[in-house]
């Protein structure tokens, strides 16, 4: 299996100079790839390029061997699901948020089915993070990209989410995850991409 994603000499500009410059890396289709680096190194920016919430100012991001910009962007985003650092719940119940297959998906992310009819905004942060994963899984993605998925969680829920991410990666999904925590990266990753802080 070839690369799922590839960064080719990518540059992204910020308000005062490039956030990312001359960045190249391969992300294969299998397993869990962790992008690790200090705060301010541009890790979130790198993830946002994968589902085209942003585009590089120079260089190319490849998806399945082709420039990510040649795909229909809405279709690309369905196939490449991005879950942000802070879980975002939409108005309505947990079932409304996740969609028709909520029972199967809540089970898959380890949430009790009793939560289905509950309002999504009463979930704990850890539960909300799992619900966001379930909502993304409902789109049948090929890749899951996660921005610091455990940074908002306490230690107990952190372990649970890490195990879930591992399970999803082992189940055949391409998982790309960002963390600032080298220990977490080393423990979880099949492969690591290190980014260095290059901001003044």
Partner 1 sequence: MIAADLNLSGRVGAGEVALALLLVAIAMGISRWRGVALERDIGIASVRAFVQLLAVGYVLDYVFSGQGGLTPLVLGVMILTATLTSGRRGRMVPGAYVIALSSVAVATGGTLGLLILLGIIPSAPRAAIPLGSMIISSAMNTTSLVMSRLRDDLASHRREVEARLSLGATAHEASAALHHAAMRTGMLPTIDQTKVVGLVALPGAMTGMILAGVSAFAAIRLQLVVMYMLLGGNAFAALVAGELTVRRLFTADHQLIRSLRRVPGT
Contact positions vs partner 1 (CB under 8 A): 14-15, 19, 39-45, 48, 51-55, 69, 73-75, 77-78, 81-84, 86, 88, 90, 132, 135-136, 139, 148, 180, 199
The CA distance from 103 to 14, in Å, is 42
Nearer to partner 1, 73 or 186 (CB): 73
Q: What is the closest distance, in whole angstroms, from the C-beta atom of residue 39 to partner 1 in the complex?
A: 5
Q: What is the closest distance, in whole angstroms, from the C-beta atom of residue 40 to partner 1 in the complex?
A: 5
Nearer to partner 1, 53 or 58 (CB): 53
Burial profile 42-65: b = 16 or more Cβ within 10 angstroms, e = fewer = bbbbbbbbbbbeeebeebbbbbbe
Nearest one of 119, 159, 117, 168 to 140, comparing CA atoms: 168
Q: What is the closest distance, in whole angstroms, from the C-beta atom of residue 37 to partner 1 in the complex?
A: 9
The CA distance from 63 to 6, in Å, is 7
Q: What is the closest distance, in whole angstroms, from the C-beta atom of residue 67 to partner 1 in the complex?
A: 13
The CA distance from 72 to 68, in Å, is 9
Please give the radius of gyration of the chain, using alpha carbons only, rounded to the nearest integer: 17
Nearer to partner 1, 26 or 78 (CB): 78
Nearer to partner 1, 40 or 112 (CB): 40
The CA distance from 16 to 114, in Å, is 49
Nearer to partner 1, 26 or 79 (CB): 79
The CA distance from 32 to 119, in Å, is 32
The CA distance from 101 to 82, in Å, is 19
Q: What is the closest distance, in whole angstroms, from the C-beta atom of residue 189 to partner 1 in the complex?
A: 18
């Amino acid at each position: 299996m070839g690369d799922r994603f590839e960064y080719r000499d990518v540059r992204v500009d910020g308000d005062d100079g490039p956030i990312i410059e001359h960045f190249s890396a391969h992300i294969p289709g299998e397993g869990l790839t962790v992008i690790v680096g200090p705060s301010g190194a541009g890790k979130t920016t790198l993830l946002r390029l994968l589902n085209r919430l942003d585009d590089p100012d120079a260089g190319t991001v490849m998806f399945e061997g082709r420039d990510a910009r040649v795909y229909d962007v809405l279709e690309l985003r369905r196939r490449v699901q991005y879950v942000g650092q802070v879980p975002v719940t939409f108005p309505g119940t947990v079932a409304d948020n996740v969609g028709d297959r909520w029972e199967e998906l809540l089970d898959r992310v380890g949430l009790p089915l009793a939560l289905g009819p509950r309002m999504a905004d009463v979930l704990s942060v850890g539960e909300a993070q799992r619900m966001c994963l379930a909502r993304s899984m409902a789109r049948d993605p090929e890749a899951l990209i996660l921005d610091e998925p455990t940074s908002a969680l306490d230690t107990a829920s952190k372990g649970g989410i890490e195990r879930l991410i591992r399970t999803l990666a082992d189940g055949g999904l391409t998982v790309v995850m960002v963390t600032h925590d080298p220990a977490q990266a080393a423990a979880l990753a099949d492969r690591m991409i290190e980014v260095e802080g290059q901001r003044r």
